Amino acid sequence: MGTWNEHAFPHLPVTVYTEGLGGAEQRLREGSARLGLYTPRAIREADLTTEFMASITMVPVAAAGHPLSIIRRPITRGDLEEHVQLVLIDRTQITAGFSGGIISNRIWRFADLSTRLEFLLGGFGWCNMPLHLVQPHISNGVLKQLKLKDDGPWSLPIHVVHETNRPPGRAGRWLLEDLRKKLTSCPRESFDGARATKKRRTK
């Protein structure tokens, strides 16, 4: 982003929003954003154009001292149900009521990943997190990746999305091409396969 802003389009003002769940799509529909990077809903929207960009590996984690982390066998669904699960909520109506990925009988809801991570680091609860965010904490022993009996790491497909009647302009096209170059090492997925993954795992 720095290279783009400083050299390619140095005088172009840029606003970057960080949203959860349906927030990115709402920004597009409100007209306050031209491009979105997020996992689209399973239902195809004719007024939105999407293109796969990358896959993010998601892993179940808890603090190293959490009761789930000291289980010396593959963790079962019954084990997970006994402990607080940290899940994301949507502050928009686009995915209101969506509850995919909830396993535990006890849940705490969070509006953003960073706050949820702070609770994990503090030893509270378990959840699925992007591997690139928690890998440093796993490596230094603060967090532990949970070994589940019936499941393991999975991929969250990220797409670039824009309104069909508002395609990216020159700066937008440059940004997307620059992102693609930086993400050439990420595995490609079909859109249908990616959305099947989305329906199975979201929180």
Helix axes 113-121, 131-139, angle to 10 degrees: 20
Q: Say yes or no: 114 and 159 in one domain.
A: no
User: 103 and 121, same structural domain?
Assistant: yes
Whether 84 and 133 map to the same domain: the answer is yes
Distance, in Å, from the CA atom of 5 to the CA atom of 71, rounded to the nearest integer, reads 48
Domain shared by 38 and 97, yes or no: no
How many Å from the N-terminal Cα to the C-terminal Cα in the chain?
Answer: 28
Domain termination site, one of 120, 145, 170: 145
Residues 134 and 87 in one domain: yes
What is the Cα gyration radius of the chain?
Answer: 18
122 and 66 in a single domain? The answer is yes
Q: Three-state SS string across 84-144, please?
A: CEEEECCCCCCCCCCCCCCCCCCEEEECCHHHHHHHHHCCCCEEEEEHHHHHHHHHCCCEE
Residue after which a domain boundary falls, among 107, 123, 145: 145
Asked whether residue 123 falls in the same domain as residue 185, the answer is no
Q: Are 100 and 180 part of one and the same domain?
A: no
pLDDT digits (tens, 9 = 90+) for 28-73: 888 889 999 888 877 777 889 999 988 889 999 999 999 999 999 9
Contact assessment for residue 189 and residue 157, using Cβ atoms and an 8 Å cutoff: yes
Residuewise pLDDT in 10s, the chain (203 residues): 555 556 678 888 888 888 877 888 888 888 889 999 888 877 777 889 999 988 889 999 999 999 999 999 999 999 999 999 999 887 776 666 555 678 999 999 988 889 999 999 999 999 999 999 999 999 999 999 999 998 777 888 889 999 999 899 888 888 888 888 877 655 444 333 333 333 334 34
The answer to whether residues 27 and 65 belong to one domain is no
Based on the domain organization, do 63 and 141 belong to the same domain?
yes
Decide if 48 contacts 40 (C-beta within 8 A): yes
Helix, strand, coil content of the chain in percent (nearest 5): 30, 25, 45
Domain extent for 50: 2-55+154-200
